[in-house]
Amino acid sequence: MYLTMMQKTKVIEREEVVVRFSGDSGDGMQLTGSLFSNTSAVYGNDISTFPDFPSEIRAPQGTIGGVSGFQVHIGSGDVHTPGDQTDVLVAMNPAALKANGKFMKPGGILIVDIDSFDEKSIVKAGYQTEDPLAEEHLGDYYVIKVPITSLTKESLKEMGLDAKSILRSKNMFALGLVCWLFNRPLEYTQTYIRNKFAKKPQIVDANLKVLQDGYDYGMILEAVTPSYHIQPADIEKGFYRNLNGNTAVAWGFIAAAEKSGLELFLGSYPITPATEILQELSGRKDLGVKVFQAEDEIAGICSALGASFAGRLALTTTSGPGFALKAEAIGLAVMAELPLVIVDVQRGGPSTGLPTKTEQSDLFQALYGRNGESPAVVIVASTPVNCFDYAYMAAKIAVEHMTPVILLTDGFLANGTQPWRIPDLSEFPAIVPPLVHQKKDGWYAYARDAESLVRGWAVPGTPGLQHRIGGLEKDYFTGALSHDGPNHQKMVDTREAKVQKIADSLPPLEILGNEDADLLVIGWGGTFGHLHTAVARLNEQGYRVAQAHFHYINPMPLNTYEVLKRYKKIVVCELNLGQLAGYLRMKFPDIQYAQFNKVQGLPFTSAELVDNFKKMLED
């Protein structure tokens, strides 16, 4: 129903709420969403965010292809996902409504800039009739029609700004209004504006005014619309900041460099959605990070491998297509037994695929995408903030075991943010590279530790330890070139055993939810939050469901088989056609695995998972 002037103001307490900002990709929706998220996080809520934007930098204005969205889930309890459906949708134009109407929760609030709903824009968005609001069947929603564009113009008419700058401020009006709706203070955004435009006082004044006017407009609405309040969450004490997955990856390596005493080197080439890691580390010259923006993906990894040979903590970052180009050099790292971390921020594939959308379809590429028997460690982050922890672990394993480590994240984690409790470096395990400083009798470049099978790292510049390494097979003892068959067998077996031995130091696979369950839900990577929410919801409803989530895929935790065999029903859930399921079938063939898969460039929704698991439990 549409609002009438008869309703009275009230403040409703909510435990959680999902808000989605949407507009043209030039409307500043990502910034608006981030500012609202940060405001809420600073207020003490737990949050999780999901930016959803097109790969075109500026797709034609007003079209569905150009719609940019930013969703945030705010809660007074733990928040694991950005939310399936949105309680509040802000649509700055008809295309935004068309693209996002389907994400609305019945009974939710829709805020539209009614000025933008002119005939031309309505047609452009692909609506069939002149009344898109009716066409969306929004009978069950509060629809707040606000003339945002004209109110912004009105607000700034005395400021002497050009028309373009005025229109650019309308996102602040929307933000002000949403802040009113959720009883959020404006200070955070005000400080941001003052800092961001410190050198343009006119723009500062304009944005602050529009923001306040948007907030005040809510006061006018007060008569007609309830507002909401979400209590601060009960979270661990400490210092917090918001962090997205890509920055978390970058910082994880900075932490590992400081902890290990090794200089950090990144060789990389820009690629969506991994570029932010390259950008973040490029700005970290203050911490001595050496970043080389290479001429291509291959040079990115090869320069990193050169830096590794020279004794540095070496890293390359990419996404699926770039990862494919790096395959040969990863093989060289396997063969030369040099430490190297390859970060693959997965996106929709194959080929160029869906650059800005998320997917988990590079697992097989990470495990097998090389010639020869070429074992690499594969580890996976599962939340935006634990990208930090797994980046750190990737670095630790790479240098301590002289092996390439592939760290998989995905577009969902990369761009999603969560509040991060700032850790002290003392909370993290030491990183001890197997550096060799002096020649001892019987030292050869490939002489190994008997237990871990790890060779020593003799870095160029060290007197007396000159040696040659390369991609050709070498003798097990002397490291000299060897084409001998039995020796090759021994080397292949040794390289594989070296990687498998890493499992000895990995944490066991944990069982979450109800251990004594009728169904075990298995996942890996960025699907954790949605799976966890679905499992928790089912257990609340009296079902018995357990969850096991993989972070270490090669090697796997030692107790993996033991966990799997405890459950009669197992479902492996992935944003691909079943790559982990296939891998588990190969490793543990006597176990039956059901699958739940989705490849739509989007995360699972907890609701679809709940429905599916219920069906499985009832079968």
Partner 1 sequence: MQEASALTYTDFKSNQSVKWCPGCGDHAILNSVQKAMAELGYSQEEVAVISGIGCSSRFPYYMNAYGFHTIHGRASAVATGVKIANPELKVWQITGDGDALAIGGNHFIHAVRRNIDLNIILFNNQIYGLTKGQYSPTSKKGFVSKTSPFGTIENPFRPGELTIGARGHFFARTIDKELKLTVEVLKEAAKFSGASVVEVLQNCVIYNDRTHEVLTEKGFKEERTIVLRHGQPMLFGKDNDKGLMLDGLNLKVVKLGDNGITEKDILVHDAMNPDPSLHLKLANMEYPDYPVAMGVIRAVPYATYNAELVEQIEAVQAKSKIKSFKDLVFSGDVWEVK
Binding site for partner 1 (CB under 8 A): 38, 41-42, 44, 188, 235-242, 251, 254-255, 258, 263, 265, 267, 284-288, 290, 292, 294-296, 298-299, 302-312, 314, 328-329, 331-332, 336, 422, 424-425, 460-472, 480-481
- 480's CB contacts (< 8 A; 6+ apart) are 474
465 or 607: whose CB is closer to partner 1?
465
Question: Could you please report the per-residue DSSP string of 13-46?
Answer: EESEEEEEEEEETTS-HHHHHHHHHHHHHHHT-E
259 or 357: whose CB is closer to partner 1?
259
162 or 424: whose CB is closer to partner 1?
424
Cβ 461 to partner 1, closest distance in Å? 6
38: tokens are 């940060």
24: tokens are 């043209």
Cβ 187 to partner 1, closest distance in Å? 11
SS (H, E, C) 342-375: EEEEECECCCCCECCCCCCCCHHHHHHCCCCCCC
What is the residue type of 539?
A: N
125: tokens are 């968005």
76 or 308: whose CB is closer to partner 1?
308
Q: What is the CA radius of gyration of the chain?
A: 27
Counting every residue written for the chain, the total comes to 619
135 or 473: whose CB is closer to partner 1?
473
C-alpha neighbours within 13 Å on the C-beta side of residue 424: 3
47 or 609: whose CB is closer to partner 1?
47
Cβ 292 to partner 1, closest distance in Å? 6
Our CA angle for 321, 272, 605, nearest 5°, is: 95
41 or 345: whose CB is closer to partner 1?
41
Cβ 200 to partner 1, closest distance in Å? 21
Sheet containing 404-410: give its strands across: 290-293, 264-268, 313-318, 340-346, 404-410, 377-380, 552-554
Say which residue the tokens 């079968």 belong to.
619
How many whole angstroms separate alpha carbon 192 and alpha carbon 175?
13
Cβ 562 to partner 1, closest distance in Å? 37
Cβ 34 to partner 1, closest distance in Å? 11
258 or 608: whose CB is closer to partner 1?
258
Cβ 208 to partner 1, closest distance in Å? 18
Cβ 248 to partner 1, closest distance in Å? 11
Give the number of other Cβ atoms within 10 Å of residue 372's Cβ.
Answer: 12
How many whole angstroms separate alpha carbon 512 and alpha carbon 498?
30
How many whole angstroms separate alpha carbon 221 and alpha carbon 151?
14
219 or 310: whose CB is closer to partner 1?
310
Virtual CA dihedral for 255, 259, 262, 263, nearest 10 degrees?
30
Cβ 436 to partner 1, closest distance in Å? 13
112 or 304: whose CB is closer to partner 1?
304
25 or 268: whose CB is closer to partner 1?
268
329 or 393: whose CB is closer to partner 1?
329
φ/ψ of residue 371, rounded to 5: -80, 150
φ/ψ of residue 345, rounded to 5: -85, 100
How many whole angstroms separate alpha carbon 82 and alpha carbon 79?
8
Cβ 304 to partner 1, closest distance in Å? 6
Cβ 182 to partner 1, closest distance in Å? 18
Cβ 79 to partner 1, closest distance in Å? 15
Q: Are 593 and 581 in contact (CB under 8 A)?
A: yes
Nearest to 352 by CA among 311, 319, 310, 380: 319
φ/ψ of residue 549, rounded to 5: -125, 125
- 342's CB contacts (< 8 A; 6+ apart) are 301, 315, 316, 317, 318, 323, 326, 330, 376, 404, 405, 406, 407
182 or 309: whose CB is closer to partner 1?
309
Bridge partners for 192 per DSSP? none
Cβ 164 to partner 1, closest distance in Å? 29
Say which residue the tokens 């390369």 belong to.
470
236 or 618: whose CB is closer to partner 1?
236
Cβ 290 to partner 1, closest distance in Å? 6
